[in-house]
Every structure is written in structure tokens, then in C-alpha cells.
Amino acid sequence: MTKPILITGSGVVSAIGCGKAQTLDALLNNRTGVGPLVYLKTEHKEFPVGEVKMSDDEMRKLMNISDNAIATRTALMGMIALDEALKEAKITAEMIPNIGFISGTTVGGMDMSEQFYLDYVNNENHKEYIAVHDCGSCSEMTAEHFGKFAFVTTLSTACSSAANAIILGANMIRNGEADIVVVGGSECITKFHLNGFNSLMILDTQWCRPFDATRAGLNLGEGAAYLVLESEESAKKRGVKAQAILSGYGNACDAFHQTASSPDGEGAFRAMKEALKLADIQPDRIDYINAHGTGTPNNDLSESYAVKRLFGENVPPMSSTKQFTGHTTSASGSIEAVFCILALQNGFLPVNLNWSQPMDDGIVPVHQSVKKELKHVLCNAFGFGGNDSSLLISNTSTSSVTDLHVSEFPEPVEGPLYVLSAKQISVQQPLSEDWMSQPIVYQESFNRSIDPSYKDYISPIEARRMGKILKRAIATSKEAIKASGLETVDAIITGTGYGCIENTEFFLNALSKDGEQMLSPTYFMQSTHNTISSLVAIQTKNHGYNVTYAHKSISFDSALQDAVLQMRLGKINSALVGGHDEMTPTFYNILKKGGMMGHDDEMCGEAAVSVVLGTKSDDYLCKLVNFKMLHKPTMDKLKTVATEFKADFIMTGISGNNKSDEAYLAETKELFGNAKLLKYKHLFGESFTASGLGFYVAAQCLKSGKIPAHLFANPNDITDDKPSNILIFNHSDSNNYSLTLLEA
């Protein structure tokens, strides 16, 4: 029997309170936190929102952060929630280096970028905030307030981000990769996504009314919540009790539309069904469903159909709690998971506020206060692109939970995994390996990818409104799946450091120069990071597991880790792993101004890599035999890990940035002695997901049995010897490391 995952601590901040005590009081007394805008400076005063009732300065003071320290609102809220969770779980500073931290966010540091965008473009003012635009920076800012966690990464799947962070943490514990992982998400309200949702015409000027016949849209909210997940053995050893049990979870893709849910709720149905299956719990044992319930006409009807498909005539009590907090987008999965824990502990059903009229073919939600003993509850979180996740949380009143039955994972997969295919579109010849014999050599410091004809992959009508990064992702994905010999894959997992930056730039530019009226919904729809994964799923009609990682230069590596983890657990047999980033001239100059690009002889490029991994195959490029990620390790820790990664050739991230290159050379010398060093960024350029290109290059070299001379870092190392293995050694500013060992 698979052992359960305990929740030994939790913390929350939202519009209804700072901490669980205030939150519980608001839930029990049906007190909403949604009201007029106070802190966000916007023209749109007509929309009620769920703001956290503190200014940034007040949050700084609460967390003892100096006025000079850079901190985004997303990170500040994250710190408040994380502080409560760690204290509840009795996590000390000494324990932090052995604990993982996984966070979900989509806006990242957009609250700063939207204020200073014109400064970024036109002058030197506020350029220090450029480095905190991306999602990963906010996660690291939150984590580093408490110490050096063993592992840090960020999921960005819009409104299911925090729920997917919880799923990853649980899988890490189940696979024995961690005893304790802190998971959740944080998201602040910004003008960017307030106006984005407004451009989609799904904001309500009144209090939102989920599952009501008169529902007209959602109210935005903000907040953060984190859960401490822990193995039973660890909790017993530390003498801590469980608040609740994470007994099941599921993620699936609706594969229907970029923003709308399918009429039959296919993705939601699959996610809930998977959560029940993992927990080995029949539908009639669910006592309550915390619905995603946004209050939009489309979502509520689709979710109603999904629930009816799963539960038939016996739908359990169900309600949405977004009328209390507003829709907290990326943080909603963990915030509402905390609400579920409070309901389990205190025996009550949260009320679906503002409901009065039943909708046609919909669910009649809990609309009066009810006290009820709860044993098992579902918590739903659905994101743009049909990224649907469901958590099954169970009650426990003691520290012993061995009597709770949790179903077995399939038989774990041991031994090597197989790289079935790998395709790229970059500054080299697209969808081709011609670079191995005839590389294109660039003199310019900034170069855009060479695009193939997309007519074989995307219809002209679709392509006309599609950003470049999306076309590249779809083309490389379709080619990789075709080359793998598979009809489809079990999972689509994407890494992207900046996401769809071109459309983000278009929207920011219009917002900054033209104001908050008449903004394009297309730019907003295509600005979210998980647009890439969702469009690939829609194009390939894939309903499987679907997530996106957005954590700096380990974005691709994080996606790879998830794929490897789930294969080892036996949950999937194949995965499409992508690394996709684009760059515009304007954003390149912004990053250069912020000191993040354009160093010395460094070339900036664009990355579009799609790799198919499988658990077995007779025809493959190479084998993946070992993989490891680390966050801010000591050199002693790196040396210990390096002993597991013996290789003759080391694929480094040498890029022409003298400072970074010196660090690479010093570390590789100390860790791997006289192993021959390889490089690839001089051909493909630097980008946040360049490590995906490194993976692709190494795989092609192992398949061909030859390493081209122009890949050797030292001309004296050039050899015609057939490589038996290549280690891809990636680091990001000596903070985040990954080691990937490929074998011929």
C-alpha cells in the first residue's frame, strides 16, 4: 500500500484575513473580503476585488524587510503565508537546507514591470526591478527570506498553478526524493491581468455569483497559501501531527480552447476522476467539493457538467469560495486547499455567497451555513488552456494515519529512460541537424530564430493570430512526436523562463502608452506562460498531464525532472518535454540594461526544443541514465552529487559571459577533473531555456556517434572517438544547478 502524504502545516493570507484564525472567522461568519479597489492604482474603479488589506510597506514591516530591499507584492504575500506554514509544521531554520520549495505564480514581478515599463525602455530609472520580472525570481525571493532550501522551482499554469505545485511536491515525496516539501502559490492583483480579464469581458461590476442564473463574471483577488507536505515516517520522527491528508490528486488537459472550458467539462472530469482513483475512494465517499466556481457563465456550467458526469444523481454538497476572496488566480488552488483543511478540522460547509437563483442544468450550491462532519473533500483548480487539477484532502484527528487506504502507484520504472526524439527551431537550421557539419556563425550579439514554413503544422487562419513562440512550439512538438514513433504522449511538460514575451510586450506597451481602455484580448490570452503547453495539447488533441515550469535557467530542467519523476513512479510511459523562449529587440535591450544579457562576447538567441522521452523503445537517440537538481548547494554537496555522474564529456553552459564562464570552468575542474568540456551557446545563443538546446545537442551527438570539432571548448581536446556518454552541467548564477547524464 502506498503511504499517505501528510499535511503538517499550512499558512494563508487573502482578502478575508492574514493567517488561518482570521480566515476561519470570516468563513464561519460569511464575511466577504471583496470590495472597492484600494491599493492597486488603476482607472477601473468599477470592478470590486479581493485585495489583501495591507500595503506593500505594511507587509514589509510585518516581515521585517528593509525599505531598500527589492520585494514584489507577490513575494511579500508569499512570505507571510510561508511563515505561518513553517511555524505550524515546526520547521526550523536548520531544517530548511533539506526541504524543497515549490511555488505557483503567473504574474511574477508584473506589479513592478507595469509601473516602470517605460523607464525600462527609455532610461536608467528603476532598472533594478528588471531582474524580478520573471516568475522564478518571486519564488526565490519568498524562499530566501527563510533560508537556503534544497530545491526551488516555479509552476506557471495560470489558475491551477498552486494546485500543480502541490501535485509535484506529493510526487517527490512518493518517489523518495524528499521527506518534506513546502508547496503552494502566491499572486498579487496587477493592472496587467485586471485589464487582461476585462479585455475578455469576464469581470463582473457586482459581487460575483458562482452557479447563479444571473452570474455575469468573476471578481479578481490576490493572496498566498502554502502547505507543508510530509511523509508519515518524517512526521513520526519529528513528533508532529497531521492537519489533514493529501490522499489523491489529478491533472488533465481539456484540450479545447485557450480560455474557455469545454461544454462537457472533459478536463475537469478527468482530473477529479484521477484524484479519486489515486486515493482508491468511490465518489459516494466525497463529503464536499470546493468548486473552481469563478462566476463566469462558461466555467460554472462546464464544471457542473463535469461533476454530474462523475457523481451522477448523488452530487455531494458543493460551493465556490471565490466570493470571499475574489479569484486569486495562480494562488487559488492552495488558498482553497487551506479552506478545505479548515472545513475538515472544524466540521462545516463553506457557503456559496450571493447565490439566489438556480441555473439551468447547473448545480445548486451550499447557500446556507451547515455544520457537518467531513472526511473527504475535493478541491478544484482550473486554469487557462484547460489546465485542470483536483486535490482530494482527507481528515485525520491523530498522528497515525496507517488505516487510511491509499491506492498503489503502478510498478516503479527502474533503469534508463529513453530519449526517443528531439527537435529544435533556433538560430541554426530549423528542424535539422545541419549545424553539426555546417553551423551558421553569427557576429551579432542578438539573433532571432530561423523560422521554417509552418503551413504543414498550423492552418493559415490559426497561424495569423499566433505568436512566434507558439508556432515554434507546435512545429517542434509535432515533429518530435512523429519522429518518436508514438501516436501520442502521456504528458506534455513545458519549461519557459519568460513565456510569450512578445505578446506580453505588446500588452504592456499598449497599457503603458495608451491607457487601460480598448486593450487586445489576443495579446493577453497569448501572454500567459502555459499558453504554449495548452496550444500544443489542443493541436495534438492530448488530454494527458499538462504543466508548465517558469523558473529562470532551470525551466527546461524542471520540466525534465517532472517527466523523469512520473516515469519512475510508473504514472506515465511517455512525455513531450519542451523548452521554449523567445526574445524581442526591445526586451533584449531591457535585459541588457538590467545586466542580464549582452555580457562580453555572449550571444542571445531563441530556444524552441521538443524532446520525447519514453520508458522503453527499440529505436532511440540515447538513454537518460541520471538526473539531479540542486538549489544553492555547498561545494561539498556538489562534490558528493558529482560522484554519481561520471562522464568523459561535460556539456557546459559557456556563453561568452566571462564572469559566468570562469565560474563554469572553475567548478567543472573541481568536480570533474580533466573531463573534456563541450559548449553549444556560441552556436545557439543564451536564453532561459538554453539548457534544452544543450540536451538536444548532446542527444544528437550520442546518436550520430560523433562530436563535431566546433563543440569542443578546448581545441586540444578535439577527438574523433565515439562518445559513450555526455553530462549536461547547467547552472544559473551559481544558484540553481542541474546534472543530466545521457548515454549512447
pLDDT digits (tens, 9 = 90+) for 100-121: 999 999 999 999 999 999 999 9
**Whether residue 398 has pLDDT greater than 70:** no
Q: Concatenated DSSP letters for 690-743?
A: HHHHHHHHHHHHHHHT---GGGBSSGGG---PPPSEEEEEEEETTTEEEEEEEE
Contacts (Cβ under 8 Å, ≥6 apart) of 68: none
**Stretch 136-154: mean pLDDT:** 96
pLDDT value of residue 518:
85
The number of residues making up the chain comes to 744
Mean pLDDT of 558-568: 97
Mean pLDDT of 424-432: 97
According to the model, what pLDDT value does residue 96 have? 97
**At residue 742, does pLDDT exceed 70?**
yes
Residues taking part in catalysis: 159, 292, 327
Q: What is the pLDDT of residue 408?
A: 64
The residue type of 646 is K
Are 5-394 and 417-743 equal in CATH topology? yes
Residue 3 clears pLDDT 80, i.e. is over it: no
pLDDT tens sequence across 671-727: 999 899 999 999 999 999 999 999 999 999 999 999 999 999 999 999 999 999 999
Which residues touch 430 (CB under 8 Å, ≥6 apart)? 424, 449, 450, 451, 452
Cα angle for residues 733, 556, 586 (degrees, 5° grid): 70
| 404: pLDDT strictly greater than 70 | no
Residue 292 has a pLDDT of 96
**What pLDDT shows up at residue 397?**
63
First and final CA of the chain: distance in angstroms? Answer: 37
Give me the sign of the Cα torsion angle 509, 511, 513, 517: positive
Tell me: pLDDT of 213 over 90.
yes
Range in 95-109, 203-217, 382-396 with the lowest mean pLDDT? 382-396
Q: Quote the pLDDT of residue 2.
A: 63
Task: From the options 3.40.50.300, 3.40.47.10, 3.10.20.600, 3.40.50.970, give the CATH code of 417-743.
Answer: 3.40.47.10
Q: Is the pTM of this model over 0.95?
A: yes
Cβ density class 490-515: b for 16+ within 10 Å, e for less: bbbbbbbbbbbbbbbbbbbebbbeee
What was the pLDDT predicted at 1?
47
State the Cα–Cα distance between residues 516 and 45, nearest whole angstrom. 11
Q: How far is CA 614 from the centre of its chain?
A: 22
Q: What superfamily would CATH give domain 5-394?
A: Thiolase/Chalcone synthase (3.40.47.10)
For residues 9-34, give the mean pLDDT.
98
The per-residue pLDDT for range 289-330, each reduced to its tens digit, is 999 999 999 999 999 999 999 999 999 999 999 999 999 999
Q: If you average pLDDT over residues 648-652, what whole number do you get?
A: 96
- Per-residue pLDDT at 384: 81
Residues 718/709, Cβ–Cβ less than 8 Å: yes
Q: Given pLDDT bands bounded at 50, 70 and 90, which one contains residue 594?
A: very high
Answer whether residue 399 shows pLDDT above 60.
no
When pLDDT is cut at 50, 70 and 90, the band that residue 401 belongs to is very low
Residue 34 has pLDDT above 70, yes or no: yes
The mean per-residue pLDDT over the stretch 429-444 comes to: 96
Whether the pLDDT of residue 733 is over 80: the answer is no
- Where in 501-642 does DSSP place strands (E)? 545-549, 574-581, 607-614, 622-631
Given a contact cutoff of 8 angstroms between Cβ atoms, the answer to whether 255 and 404 are in contact is: no
Residue-range domain boundaries for the chain = 5-394, 417-743
Residues facing residue 248 across a β-bridge: 392
Please identify which residue in the block is written with the cell numbers 547547467.
730
Show the CA angle centred on residue 740, arms to residues 736 and 742, nearest 5°: 165
- Check whether 403 has a pLDDT greater than 50: no
Give me the pLDDT at residue 400, please.
40
Range picked from 67-71, 223-227, 394-398 for highest mean pLDDT = 223-227
Give the per-residue pLDDT at 406.
Answer: 58
As a whole number of angstroms, the distance between CA 292 and CA 289 comes to 9
The CA–CA distances, whole Å, from 683 to 89, 603, 663 equal 48, 9, 20
- Whole-number average pLDDT of the chain: 94
SS3 659: helix
Predicted local distance difference test score (pLDDT) of residue 405:
52
Query: What is the three-class DSSP state of 379?
Result: strand
Displacement of CA 303 from its chain's centroid (Å): 23
Per DSSP, helices labelled H in 183-296 are 191-199, 232-238, 266-279
Mean pLDDT calculated for residue range 433-438? 97
Q: Are 286 and 272 in contact (CB under 8 A)?
A: no
C-alpha of 602 from chain center: 28
Residues with Cβ within 8 Å of 497's Cβ and at least 6 positions away in sequence, in order, are 134, 136, 550, 551, 552, 553, 555, 581, 687, 688, 689
